[in-house]
Amino acid sequence: MFDKIKEIFESECFVHEPHQLYDPIEYTLHLGGKRIRPYLLMTANQMFGGDDAHVRNAAIGIEVFHNFTLLHDDLMDKSPLRRGKPTVYCKWDENTAILSGDTMFALAWHYFLKQPTPRLQQILSCFNQTAIEVCEGQQYDMNFEHSSHVTIDEYMMMIRLKTAVLLAGALKIGALYAGAPEADIDHLYQFGIHLGLAFQLQDDLLDSYGDVAELGKQTGQDIRDNKKTYLILKALQTAPDNLRSELVDLFSATPDNSDDKVARVRQIYDQLNIRHNVEIAIDEEFSKARLHLDSIHLDDDKKQPLLNLITTLSGRKK
C-alpha cells in the first residue's frame, strides 16, 4: 500500500501558474514523508470493501491538508528545516509561506470535491471538523509555551487535537467512502485517536531516549527548547519539591551550551523513572487502540494491516 501511495504522489503534478504560488506547493508535496494519513484513509476504505481508485483523490487531499499545516507550523515556529530540507519560509519568504499554505488548504478541498460519493456532506464535515480541531490544537500548543501550569490532562487534550484527530479523521473518511456501518466507524475513529496519542508520546520519549544514529538527529531538542512534553509534565507532577524547583529553573533558562542542561534533565528523569512512566502510558494507548479495533465487526484478516501497524509503531526507533 505504501508503494502505491508513493506512486500516486510521484505521478501527481502540482505545478500551475502563477509559479511563484505553486512552486512552493510542488516542493512541499514532493519532499516525501511517511504518508501515514493517506495510508490510513486507503486502508480503512479497503477494510470495508472499498475500491482504492475511489479514494485516490481523497488520499491526496488529506496529505495536502497535513502538509499545509506543517508549512504554516514551520513558519509560526520559525523552523529552518523539514525532512532535512529548507522550509518554505526560509527557501522563499514569509509571505510565500502564508499564501502558498492558504492555497494548499484550498487544494485539499479541491481533491476531496473531485471524488464523487453519496456521503459527500458527511465526509466533508468530518474533514472540516478535523481541520478546525487541528488549528485549535496548534493554538493550545502555542498557549502552553507561555504557561507555567499545564496539567497532563491538558497536554493529552492538546496532542489529541493537534495530532490524533487527523489520523482518526483519515480512517473515518476512508471508512465512510466504503459505506461502513456507523458503529464500526466510531470504533475505527477511536482506534485512530489512541494510535495518534501513542505516536505523539513516542515522539516525546524518543527526543530524550532515542538513539542518535537511528533518529538521524540530535536528541534533547525538546529540553533545549523548553518544550512542554509528557516527560517534563510527568516529572513536575511526581518530583519532590527540591527537584521540581530545579526543573522549573532548568526549563526557564536557555544557556549557550545546552548540553549540560540536557544531561542534568535526563539525570532527573532517570531518578524519577520517567522513561518507564511514559512507556506505560504509550502501552495503555496502544491497548485502547487494540480494544477498539477488536470491537469492529470484521474478520481478523481485514484488520490485519492495522494490527500490523500497531506492531510496527510499537517498536519504532525513529
Stretch that binds a copy of itself, among 42-50, 103-111, 189-197, 236-244 (CB under 8 A): 103-111
8 A C-beta contact, residue 143 and residue 175:
no
Does position 142 bind a copy of itself by CB under 8 A?
yes
Stretch that binds a copy of itself, among 7-15, 51-59, 115-123, 242-250 (CB under 8 A): 115-123
Which listed residue (110, 119, 264, 288) binds a copy of itself by CB under 8 A? 110
Which listed residue (2, 30, 51, 125) binds a copy of itself by CB under 8 A? 125
Count the neighbouring beta carbons within 10 Å of the beta carbon of residue 244: 16
Which listed residue (106, 183, 248, 291) binds a copy of itself by CB under 8 A? 106
In whole angstroms, the minimum distance from the beta carbon of 104 to a copy of itself comes to 9
Q: How far apart are CA 215 and CA 212, in angstroms?
A: 5
Judge residue 31's burial from the number of C-beta atoms within 10 Å of its C-beta, 0-12 exposed, 13-18 middle, 19 or more buried. Answer: middle
Does position 209 bind a copy of itself by CB under 8 A?
no
Does position 18 bind a copy of itself by CB under 8 A?
yes
The separation between CA 289 and the C-alpha centre of its own chain, rounded to angstroms, equals 16
8 A C-beta contact, residue 171 and residue 46:
no
DSSP state of 53: G
Nearer to a copy of itself (CB atom), residue 37 or residue 261: 37
Residue-by-residue DSSP string for 183-225: HHHHHHHHHHHHHHHHHHHHHHHHHHHS-HHHHTS-S-HHHHT
Which residues within the stretch 34-93 sit at the binding site for a copy of itself (CB under 8 A)? Answer: 72, 75-76
Stretch that binds a copy of itself, among 99-107, 211-219, 257-265, 276-284 (CB under 8 A): 99-107
Residues 6+ away with beta carbon under 8 Å from 44 = 170, 171, 172, 173, 174, 175, 178, 180, 188
# residues contacting a copy of itself (CB under 8 A): 35
Does position 140 bind a copy of itself by CB under 8 A?
yes
Q: How far is CA 169 from CA 132, 145, 158, 192, 274, in A?
A: 12, 27, 16, 8, 31
Does position 148 bind a copy of itself by CB under 8 A?
no
Q: Give backbone dihedrals phi and psi of 93, rounded to 5 degrees, phi first.
A: -155, 180
Stretch that binds a copy of itself, among 56-64, 97-105, 166-174, 286-294 (CB under 8 A): 97-105
Nearer to a copy of itself (CB atom), residue 143 or residue 311: 143
Gyration radius of the chain over CA positions: 20
Q: How far apart are CA 222 and CA 265, in angstroms?
A: 11
Which residues within the stretch 227-246 sit at the binding site for a copy of itself (CB under 8 A)? Answer: none
Q: Which residues bind a copy of itself (CB under 8 A)?
A: 17-18, 20-21, 72, 75-76, 95, 98-99, 101-103, 105-107, 109-110, 113, 116, 120-121, 124-125, 128-129, 131-132, 135-136, 138-140, 142-143
